[in-house]
A and B are shown apart, each in its own frame.
Chain A
Amino acid sequence: MSAVSLENITKTYNKGRVLAADAVSFEVAEAELFGLIGPDGAGKTTIFRILTTLLLPDKGSAYVQGTDVTKDYQTIRNKIGYMPGRFSLYQDLTVEENLNFFATLFGTSITANYDLIKDIYEQIKPFGSRRAGKLSGGMKQKLALCCALIHKPEVLFLDEPTTGVDAVSRKEFWEMLKKLKQQGISILVSTPYMDEAGLCERIALIQDGRIMKVDTPGEIIRSYPVRLYAARAANIYQLLNDLRKHELVDSAFPFGEYLHLTLKNDKNDGIEVLQQYAAAKGHADAEVKLIAPTIEDSFIRLMREKNGPEKPGLNK
């Protein structure tokens, strides 16, 4: 049995004018750490709200631990932990009061399931008497995770838990998720940050309400269909403008220190072609190399396959 399964889940808002989820299907296996990766507005939160029984789909079916989300919400609510994207604990209650409150709601106590939250809770315990509203972003996130775990859920739903949290706290958070998974908890986590995709076992890439691909991060990278080049020069903006004018260049995007490029009809001579062209355009120092794509490269490729090459400016 899958921990979570969705089949053709569709949801619209504003009397059908906004298509938030478009025939979404995927499965999360038991004790799997599964990532839903996509930008703001892609439909991630809609999917979470349907799976946590807070919203009914227009069409399709979805099951959590084998239970239909539209029929037996009480059973599901007892089995899941949900951390919404917006901080939703009581700001005026202390750390300890919040945790106690959620434990009591689920008919349990902090001590009964202390093992599960021990590692996380001990990091915020020194601030046990501080009001939740006065915690830093990283500590709020840890408290919210404790509250979502206190009734020992079988499936954990984490909607953008790392948005707005600094890099150190983010890293610690993903370490915690790995440990929870090892204890047999199935986890569905969403993030708009592509660099976090590699920390999941499998991921679904989502854009405009549609799942573009579901696979392991490694397989998504391996299946990138063309060779990918990275280029840089002292004047990277000029290099970008020059390379975009080259007839063989299919796509050219800034990617941090480098530009990432793909070619039309790549004859395995891309490095020479690009290097010579760059030199002819006055970039004597240009460096061109072949690189392995990232999840973000794959995401861009899939978006372009769907929408066609982007046009300059804002008009689509």
Chain B
Amino acid sequence: MPDKVISCKNLSKQFGGFTAVNKISFEVDKGEIFGFLGANGAGKTTAMRILCGLSYPSSGEATVAGFDVYHKQESIKKNIGYMSQKFSLYENLTILENIEFFGGVYGLPRKDIRQRSNDLVQHLGLEKEAKKLVGELPLGWKQKLAFSVAIFHRPKIVFLDEPTGGVDPVTRRQFWDMIYEAAASGITVFVTTHYMDEAEYCNRVSVMVDGKVEALDTPANLKKQFNSDSIDDVFYKLARGAKRTGD
């Protein structure tokens, strides 16, 4: 297993005459926190769907967790985790039921699920709430639980789609603690967001504009390169010239 957990080369996707993703190339290391930024319509979602094994590229190459995006979509799905702010957990299942459900979906043996869900509940300090419905939890707890569930099957990569939108600043920090912890344990974290302060937590950040990756570096280097004091400003300089604005 090479240390490049994601690698794409000239990856493109066309819808009819429209090139949503235009020859993007980059690599993501094991245990890296990688920010994937772009304005609305830049092609982020299309690119991410390819990397998650949900859509085929039109041309170019890419592997995710060592599996080819053309031929090994099912293997990719087994080796990644996914969490978005919009959909994460079943509100009408309890905390424990949600964990067990997702463990089952990923094909973990029943015995492992039982052991690991007890560990997880304990790790999160949720022993008392384990049999409560997820719908009754405050938003911040839901998000932290959703992240834990997304990495429950110990994937090589976890994709986070705008993970911390709207949560209070303290919960948000606790959430980033968990992301750091996951990365330190060797899970690669791939974050898409259009909130630029989230980008500042990443080891490296890429910025997509009109289907292309226009910049890719550490936040510090990007700020230097664009003579900016924030990633927000870097992004603005890159994206204000964008021609595409559609969702």
Contact = CB atoms under 8 A, between A and B. Distances in A.
A93 interface: no
Nearest to A256: B200
A236 B246 CA distance: 37
B28 interface: no
A236 B218 CA distance: 14
Interface of B: 38-41, 123-126, 128-129, 138-139, 141, 144-145, 165-171, 173-174, 176-177, 180-181, 183-184, 194-197, 199-201, 219-220, 232, 235-236, 239-240, 242, 245-247
Given A41-B138, A240-B180, A296 B165 contact: no
A167 B177 contact: no
Contacts of B239: 166-168
Contacts of A311: 125
Main secondary structure of the interface of B (DSSP, over half): helix
A79 interface: no
Interface in A148-206: 163-169, 171, 192-195
Interface stretch (A27-35, A275-283, A299-307): A299-307
B139 to A, nearest CB: 5
Given A137-B40, A296-B169, A303-B168, A240 B247 contact: no
Nearest to B174: A310
B232 A167 contact: yes
Which of B174, B199, B242 has most A Cβ within 10 Å? Answer: B174
- Kindly state the interface size class of chain A when it binds its partner: 35 or more
Given A136-B246, A257-B219, 5 more contacts: A165-B40, A192-B167, A256-B200, A310-B170, A314-B141
Contact of B196 (A41, A139, A167): A167
Given A40-B139, A195-B197, A168 B236 contact: yes
A168 B168 contact: no
A254 B177 contact: yes
Given A236-B180, A254-B180, A167 B39 contact: yes
Contacts of A168: 39, 235-236, 239-240, 242
Given A195-B232, A257-B220, A138 B40 contact: yes
A277 to B, nearest CB: 19
A215 B66 CA distance: 53
B169 A39 contact: yes
Interface string A97-129: 000000000000000000000000000000000
A237 interface: yes
Contacts of A16: none
B204 to A, nearest CB: 12
Interface string A264-302: 000000000000000000000000000000001001100
25 contacts: A39-B166, A39-B167, A41-B138, A139-B245, A163-B166, A166-B38, A166-B39, A167-B196, A167-B232, A168-B39, A168-B235, A168-B236, A168-B239, A168-B240, A169-B39, A195-B232, A207-B168, A236-B180, A240-B180, A253-B173, A257-B201, A300-B169, A313-B124, A314-B141, A315-B125
Contacts of A255: 173, 200
A299 B39 contact: no
A312 B220 CA distance: 30
Which of B168, B174, B180, B242 has most A Cβ within 10 Å? Answer: B168
A167 B173 contact: no
Nearest to B39: A166
Contacts of B41: 136
Interface of A: 38-42, 136-139, 163-169, 171, 192-195, 207, 236-238, 240, 253-257, 296, 299-300, 303-304, 310-315
B161 to A, nearest CB: 12
B166 A192 contact: yes
A303 B125 contact: no
Contacts of B247: 136-137
Given A168-B239, A240-B177, A136 B245 contact: yes
A76 B124 CA distance: 48
Contacts of B40: 136-138, 165-166, 169
B194 to A, nearest CB: 5
3 closest Cβ pairs, A-B complex: A313-B125, A256-B200, A237-B180
A292 B196 CA distance: 20
Given A137-B40, A310-B174, A299 B169 contact: yes
A271 B175 CA distance: 27
B168 A39 contact: yes
Contacts of B138: 41
A1 to B, nearest CB: 34
Contacts of B184: 237-238
A161 B125 CA distance: 36
Given A39-B169, A40-B166, A136-B245, A167 B235 contact: yes
Contacts of A164: 165
Contacts of B39: 166-169
A259 B141 CA distance: 23
Contacts of B245: 136, 138-139, 169
A77 B168 CA distance: 32
Which of A171, A253, A257, A315 has most B Cβ within 10 Å? Answer: A257
